[in-house]
Every structure is written in structure tokens, then in C-alpha cells.
A and B are shown apart, each in its own frame.
Chain A
Amino acid sequence: MLLSVRDLRTRFELDEGELWPVNGVSFSVGTGETLGLVGESGSGKSMVALSILDLVPAPGRIVSGEVDLGGEDLLSMSGAAKRRVRGGEIGIVFQDPSASLNPVYRIGDQIADVARLHRGLGRVEARREAVHLLGDLGIQQPEKRARAYPFELSGGMRQRAQIAIAIAGRPRLLIADEPTTALDATVQAEICDLLKHVQGEFGMSILLISHDLALVADVADRIMVMYAGRIVEVGHWTAITQEPRHPYTKGLIGAIPHLGAGSGSPLEAIAGTVPDLTDLPDGCPFHPRCPEAGEDCRSAVPRLQDVGDRLCACYRVKHTEAVT
């Protein structure tokens, strides 16, 4: 395993009360694997990413858990060791490239900076590497674009530039946090292909975070579904998309619009709204919205357990032998 996260808990103490965007999350990412993390907004997906890098913004803090990277717990490392991991072992791509690129520096310099810092390249080598990466990520005239400022590029090019920054330190894990959400639908597909390409070329593992299950299913080997700070179902992408078992995952799959489905058929949605994280219901956090909820769901939180071909956290889902 490249990365193992064990029982990670991140808490925010606000005036309205405390909330736990990451509440006992455990998972692992294998070498060269793409793991998808899916959930609605506010389910804690992005906090998982920031917690892995130990960059949770105040007033949040990681309360417990381990982020094990190649046998070492990142959370107990020294500041300098953490900085070597950030960008050097784990690269991250954020949602909005126009906000996460510094507007006053040229794209090439921002890429070269990371290559110099983590790979000890000289000024000239790093510069050449930046141009090379831009070209590799499908940017035409990379020499010219490297000299451009972020505002001179299109949204898709900015996102490519951001990916170049994230992989300039040759990390072993690339976290992509909603990498396509701020982009046009056509560019979305290109960026997805690019992530696959990057993985093939550098053998990186990817943690792809998105609210878009269809997009994740297109790229990921395994999919992890998150709800209200907890993982509710994990399994191979075919298992999750073809045969979802957790009622929440079923709802997500049902909500994907299909081309060709009778134009009269209504778009399905999950009833209710995402719960207020400061005021979660007792028991399973999903039970107020769950069509299958029973008495037992109101009393205690179901644990994530092996149900045969996947892990699932639901009282209604019993262990079965893998069908296929």
C-alpha cells in the first residue's frame, strides 16, 4: 500500500457547535491505483484531502488518526519532513485553477519552483522541465505558454498548468480535488484523460475527489462513497456503479441522468437535504433520507464492514458471497 489512512478524525469548533467533516475515515490507496472519493458538497471530501496533507485550516484540527505513507505517519512528522511530503510525495490539484495559481507569476516559474524545491533541479533544468511538462500535458506552444501569466490562459489551460505544478515534484500520489468542476463539459473529459495519461506515464496513484459519480466511474479503479464525514461504501468501480448496495449509493446512481431514457421520465433525486454537520441525527446519519431505514438505524451508527465484494456501512446490507 502506498497510502493508508486510519481512523482519521478532523474536528471544527465553531460558535454553532462542533462539527466533524472527517469522522473516523479509513482507507488505503495502492501503488498505481486510482481511488475515487464521491459525495455531496459538505460531505467532508475536501477535508479528507487537506487532512492527508495536514493542512486543515483553522479552527479545524485533526484530532486523531494516522496518515501512513510508506511506513511513516505523516501527522507525527517534523515540519520540514511534512514539507518534503507536500509536493514531493503527494501533489494536489485544486478545484479552481484561477484561484490557486498565483496571478503575479508566470506559469513556467510556478512549475519550475516546485521542480527546484523537490527535485533539486537547477534554474535552467527546472525551466526546461516546466516547458516539457506543459507540452506533455497537451498545451500547444509550451515555450510561449510557460511565459504567460495565469490570466492570459483559458480555464482548461490553467487546470493543465495546475496539474503540471502538482506533478513537477514527481509525487507518488496525486490528489485531484474536484479537478473538473470549474471547467466546461468538453474540457472536463480532456482533463480526465489527462489524469489517466499522467498516471500511465509516471506510475502515480491518484485520489480523485468529485461529487460527480459518473466522472469518477470513468477514471477510478475503486470508488469510495462518503456521507456526512463517514465512508459508507467502498468497492470496485463496477460493483459500485452496476450494483450499488448502500441506499445512499443507490440514490446517487439513480440520480445520474441518462441520455436516451424516455424524455418523459422524471429526473430522480435523493429526498431531503445534506444534514447540518453541527446537528447530525442519532444513529446512521443517512436515516432521515433513507427509504429503507428502520428502528435500528436510529439508535447507533452502522460500522463499515466487509459484505463480500465490498465494504458497506448499512444495517440493511448483509454479507453475501461475491456473485461474479
Chain B
Amino acid sequence: MDPGTEAAGGRAPRADAVKKTRGGPWATSLRRFRANRLALWSLYVIAILVLVALFAPLLAPHDPIAIGDVMGTRFQPPSWTHLFGTDEFGRDLFSRALYGARVSLSVGVLAMLLSTTIGTLYGSVSGYFGGVVDGVMMRVVDVWIAFPAFYLMLLLVGVFEASVPALILILGLTAWPATARFMRGEILSLRKREYVEAARAMGLPSYRIILRHLIPGALSPVLVTGALAVAGMIGAEAGLSFLGLGISPPTPSWGNMVAAGKDTLASAWWVSFFPGALLTITLIAFALVADGLRDALDPKALDQKFV
């Protein structure tokens, strides 16, 4: 046999094999995520919502708050001038919905970041040190979780003046114990890994072991719960605003927009419908992205398309 052809024949698949492992586990996960149509489209939806929220002042055709000629323009059904119609004060609902996206997304994402950060650190410390420290820290979490979160939020919103920053703080500070509890479980299994033992044998201080060796290992489940948490936070903000305890009119939020239309649902359905639909789409999108992340990041999942 001609050695030249043999070598060439042998090289091609090998180069391919190298390419496949290059970039590591993250690249594999990215590929898996991209293969998930639903999750990918959901991510596009979220990206569009983020852009809309960022550029709301440029995109909005009308002032979202100013009340003009009320009697002339109130309760107009959707049309080309007012895509989502107008409300009882004659304000353009499309413009209000764009601005409402700012409130919903910023509250959702920032409150999630706050609660995930606190929960991750709290749970990691508890799981890493174990023993009495763990016992005390987890009892605090138990008590916290035993108290219904929504009532706690209601209470806090009642005590403090509700503004966007206040809502972020309140939602973020009430929701962290769930993250803490699950993070503790992750750390409990990770800390028995040999590379953690090796890090201790190299004299690394505890905080560096937690930050550099434990938390990165638990990052993928954190991403998944983080994406789900955004949906939870947006839902909670909308719920509070609907009840009149969150963002108060005239500042638009999807929650208070839905509430504003609830009495005229029969005659002017569009007032509640559009913000409600946006809310639903957003929550589903985040949930589907979380789902896609979970499948993409699961090391045990079989990569059916690529195996």
C-alpha cells in the first residue's frame, strides 16, 4: 500500500477529532444550546426586549406619561398611529409598554444578580465550612424560607417607598435563601473533589478555594437557576405593581398597566392585553432559556447530534 495515501487518509479524521474537543466543555455546551431551537429563539426574544428597553426613548412614538387631549384620544383601539391603542388618559400604550420593559427587565435582571450573588456566597461558605457554621447558617435559611416570600415582599414594599431601586433591593434580598440552599448542596459534593483537597494541600486560603475552585465548578446550575430567577423576579414585580404596591403610575410598568385596564376589560381589552401578553412572552422566554441552558450544561446529557 502506498504510505502517502494511508497517511493522508489517517490524518483527516484525526484533525476533525481535535477540532471537536477544542475550546472545551463550554464550546460543547454552546453547540448544544444552539441546537435547541426553542431556547435559541427565546434568547432572540430576550435580546430584542433588552434592545427595546435600552432604546425606548428613541423608539417610542409618543410621550409615555404626558396626558394630552384626553377626551379626544382616550380608549382608542390599536391602529397605525397607536399600535397598542390608548388608555383612559389618552396615552399611547405602545410607548408605555416600551418604557415598561425597562422597569421589568432592570428589576428582573438586577434583583436576580443580587439574590444570586448573596445566595451563592452564603451557600458556598456554609457548605465549605460545614459543621456548626453550616448548621447555624442553614437554620437561618430554613426560617427565612418558611416565611412566605410574597408576604415578606408585601410587608417590605409597604414599609419602604416603592421605586425601581427599592424594588430591586427588596426582591433581591428576599429571594436569596433558595439559591443559598441549593448552592450549599452543590458545594458539599464539590468540596470532596480531589482538586479541592489538592488546593488545600498547596496552602490556598479558604476564600480563594471557595472563589476559585468551588464556585466555578457549580457555575452551570447557577446559570440555570439564574435564568429562571429572572422570570420569577419579573413576575413578582408585575404582581406587586398590579396590586398597586410596586411601581406606581404614572411611571409605566407592565404590572401596573395590566391593573390599569382591568376595569375596562370588556370595552377596551387592549389596555390590559398588550402588557399582559408581553409579560407572558417574557416569562416564557426566560423559562425556555433556563431549560435550554440546563440541557446544554448537563455533562451527563447525551449529545445525540454529535456523538
Contact = CB atoms under 8 A, between A and B. Distances in A.
B21 interface: yes
Please classify the interface of chain B as helix (H, G, I), strand (E, B), loop, or mixed, using the class held by over half of its residues: helix
A91 B204 CA distance: 12
B205 A55 contact: no
B72 interface: no
A86 B205 contact: no
B201 A53 contact: yes
A103 B195 contact: yes
Contacts of A113: 202, 204, 212
B195 A55 contact: no
Contacts of A100: 194-195, 197-198
Nearest to A92: B201
B275 to A, nearest CB: 42
Nearest to A98: B194
B197 to A, nearest CB: 7
Interface in B166-225: 193-195, 197-205, 212-213, 216-217
A165 B202 contact: yes
B24 interface: yes
A83 B203 contact: yes
A81 B105 CA distance: 48
B196 to A, nearest CB: 8
Contacts of B193: 99
B194 A88 contact: no
Contact of A102 (B21, B24, B195, B201): B195
Interface string B281-293: 0000000000000
A85 B204 contact: no
Contact of A84 (B21, B201, B203): B203
Contacts of A103: 25, 195
A149 interface: yes
Contacts of B212: 102, 105, 113
Interface in A48-107: 53, 55, 57, 82-88, 91-92, 94, 96, 99-105
B195 A83 contact: no
Contacts, number: 70
A55 B24 contact: no
A169 interface: yes
Interface in B81-136: none
A94 B195 CA distance: 10
Given A88-B203, A165-B202, A99 B24 contact: no
Contact of B203 (A85, A104, A149, A162): A85
Contact of B202 (A57, A105, A114): A114
Interface in B246-277: none
A165 B198 CA distance: 10
Contact of A86 (B21, B25, B195, B203): B203
B204 A117 contact: yes
B194 A87 contact: no
Contacts of B203: 82-88, 114, 117-118, 169
Interface in A203-244: none
A94 B200 CA distance: 12
Contacts of B197: 55, 57, 94, 100
Q: Which of A57, A100, A169 has the most CB of B within 10 A?
A: A100
9 contacts: A55-B200, A86-B201, A87-B202, A92-B202, A96-B194, A100-B195, A102-B195, A103-B195, A105-B216
Interface of B: 21, 24-25, 193-195, 197-205, 212-213, 216-217
Task: Please give me the 5 A-B residue pairs with the lowest Cβ-Cβ distance, nearest first.
Answer: A86-B203, A87-B203, A87-B202, A99-B194, A100-B198
